[in-house]
Amino acid sequence: MKLKNYQMYINGEWIDSVSGKYFPSYNPATGEAWCYVAKGTAEDVDRAVKAAHDAFLSPEWSNMTYTERGKLVRKLGELISDRVDELAKFETMDNGKLIREMRGQLTYLPEFFYYYAGLADKIHGETLPIDKKDMFVFSSREPLGVVAAITPWNSPLYLTTLKLAPSLVAGNTIVIKPSEYTSASLLELVKLVEEAGFPPGVVNVVTGFGLPVGDTLTSHPLVSRIAFTGGTESARHVVRNSAENFAKVSLELGGKSPNIVFEDADPDNAAMGIIAGIFGASGQSCVAGSRAFLHVDIYDQVMDRLVDRVSKIKIGDPLLDETEMGPVATKAQLERVEQYVTLGHEEGGKLIYGGKKPEQIGNGWYYEPTIFEHTDNKARITQEEIFGPVLSVIPFKDEQEVIELANSTNYGLAAGIWVKDVARAHRVAKAIRAGIVWVNTYRSVSPVAPIGGSKLSGYGRESGYEAIYEYTQTKTVWINTSSEPIPDPFIMR
Ligand code: NAD
């Protein structure tokens, strides 16, 4: 059977790359190619950025009222809500994540478009009570220009939406480079951008690899804003590239997030929360709760529940509704997980569960849910992001100790706290250095709530009203209302 070729979308047209080349996209559940994607070049990027720049300046887009832009963004959300099942299937085919996880994400995705559509006519400045006579001063929030959006493979459309929806309502135009592993769902979604009625050039997609596509895009002189989600090393390149043009950057990177269980927590809920944090999505989540800190007084209770439920996890075809854990997304990712498990043994971790590929699941890139027990937080597998289904469990005795343990990584993205004592919940949430803290829940998201991190987890915030600030800049306008002659021109007024 001939596999489908996906073209790129530039300036409202579906086109081949100037290279004329395509590369395969693999289904992680079978290890086989299921479609081909246009292999973008630097020249394609240049074409897309120029189209986005022209569209940004065009009266059709720049003079469109905020209300009209909001309506277009809302329409896009509505079109997505009609195509949830189909889009979810494309995501699962590309990244191997559970169809029910992707369907869940996509069912909720329109809410992000509706939220930002609702904000479109609330993007306003202020009249400033200026401390000078005869001056009227106001500020407005202006779009930045061309946004370069770069996304990873784990939640392709969700992570794109966090950039796309606020960019558009704020009046920017955008060039998106999806992960080379997961381009199909975005290319399908872009058909809906067309259907919603966005002018050509407002949304563009260049597919291909970090080099040259991501690299050229983030160093392009016409790009004013870079929204990057991915790994730390790629982010370093992106930040250096941004210096070419001083483009404003946001970085949503990885994590080594702690899930802390205090002695008064509900052990059943805590065990479920830990599983949701690390084995949901096979650990391929930026906010994966990859370190569980269990208070010694509740250690055995939580551990017993954890191991019992984990031993019942149904691993298999991610397209089946009953499956609870699918494969990891790439062969390289599987090898990375295997290397960290070997390291876990070498560093003295005690393997409690898993630690190998499951038997009899064909040629897919599957790995068992894996639990290591450690005596401290110093081993590399307790410090480095694995991005796979590997949990490190560490005991603790008191609050101050666990705060220090939780904070002692180079990351600062997310944290979970399982506790009944409300005062302690507040104290610990405050002390944890992370952009998101969940108390008695884990992996909850909403368009209303900002996400983002600190330290090696990056900077800037996506989601929530804060994203509007991230995609706009302030203009201050001074109007002299006096008809008096201008006095001494050599001093600041
Ligand atoms: P990656 O850094 O390898 O790739 C991410 C994107 O960057 C891809 O589109 C890739 O082609 C591109 N890229 C690679 N090199 C580049 C370069 N030199 N210049 C510009 N672009 C380049 O990451 P990945 O393996 O696709 O994704 C996994 C990582 O993403 C993990 O570290 C994970 O924690 C992180 N992540 C973070 C969040 C978040 O919101 N914080 C969400 C999901 C994933």
* Domain annotation for the chain: domains and CATH numbers: 4-253+457-477 (3.40.605.10), 258-439 (3.40.309.10)
Query: Which H or E run includes 225?
Result: strand 223-229
Which atom of ligand 1 is nearest the CA belonging to 252? 41
Query: The pTM is what?
Result: 0.96
Distances (CA, A) of 251 to 151, 186, 232, 430: 10, 20, 9, 23
Residue with tokens 């004329």: 20
In the predicted model, residues of the chain with pLDDT beneath 70 are none
Q: How far apart are CA 351 and CA 334, in angstroms?
A: 18
Pocket of ligand 1 (CB under 6 A): 150-154, 159, 177, 179-180, 209-211, 214-215, 218, 229-231, 234, 237-238, 252-254, 286, 385, 387, 413
Ligand 1 atom 44: the closest Cα is on which residue? 286
Three-class DSSP category at 315:
strand
Tell me if the bond preceding 166 is cis, omega within 30° of 0: no
Which atom of ligand 1 is nearest the CA belonging to 152? 26
pLDDT (0 to 100) of residue 98: 92
pLDDT (0 to 100) of residue 363: 81
Are 202 and 239 in contact by the 8 Å Cβ rule? The answer is no
| Residue 359 neighbours by CB under 8 Å, 6+ apart | none
pLDDT (0 to 100) of residue 332: 93
**Mutation choice for ligand 1 from 158, 250, 286, 454, CB with most ligand atoms inside 8 A:** 286
Strand partners, 394: 293
Q: Which residues are catalytic?
A: 252, 286
Nearest Cα neighbor of 27 from 323, 358, 363, 324 is: 363
Find the 472 Cα to ligand 1 centroid distance in Å: 24
Which atom of ligand 1 is nearest the CA belonging to 235? 2
pLDDT (0 to 100) of residue 492: 83
Ligand 1 atom 13: the closest Cα is on which residue? 210
Find the 445 Cα to ligand 1 centroid distance in Å: 20
Are 318 and 29 in contact by the 8 Å Cβ rule? The answer is yes
Are 476 and 271 in contact by the 8 Å Cβ rule? The answer is no
Residues 21-58: b if buried by 16+ CB within 10 A, e if exposed: ebbebbbbbbeeebbbbbbbbbebbbbbbbbbbbbbeb
Find the 34 Cα to ligand 1 centroid distance in Å: 22
Nearest Cα neighbor of 370 from 295, 327, 307, 316 is: 307
- The pLDDT tens digits for 250-303 are 999 999 999 999 999 999 999 999 999 999 889 999 999 999 999 999 999 999
- The pLDDT tens digits for 180-238 are 999 999 999 999 999 999 999 999 999 999 999 999 999 999 999 999 999 999 999 99
Length of the chain: 493
pLDDT (0 to 100) of residue 244: 85
pLDDT (0 to 100) of residue 185: 96
DSSP output for 26-39: EETTTTEEEEEEE-
Find the 434 Cα to ligand 1 centroid distance in Å: 20
Ligand 1 atom 43: the closest Cα is on which residue? 286
Strand partners, 392: 291, 372
Strand partners, 136: 479
The sign one gets for the Cα dihedral 186, 102, 170, 436 is: negative
Find the 410 Cα to ligand 1 centroid distance in Å: 17
Q: How far apart are CA 467 and CA 448, in angstroms?
A: 10
| Residue 136 neighbours by CB under 8 Å, 6+ apart | 127, 130, 478, 479, 481
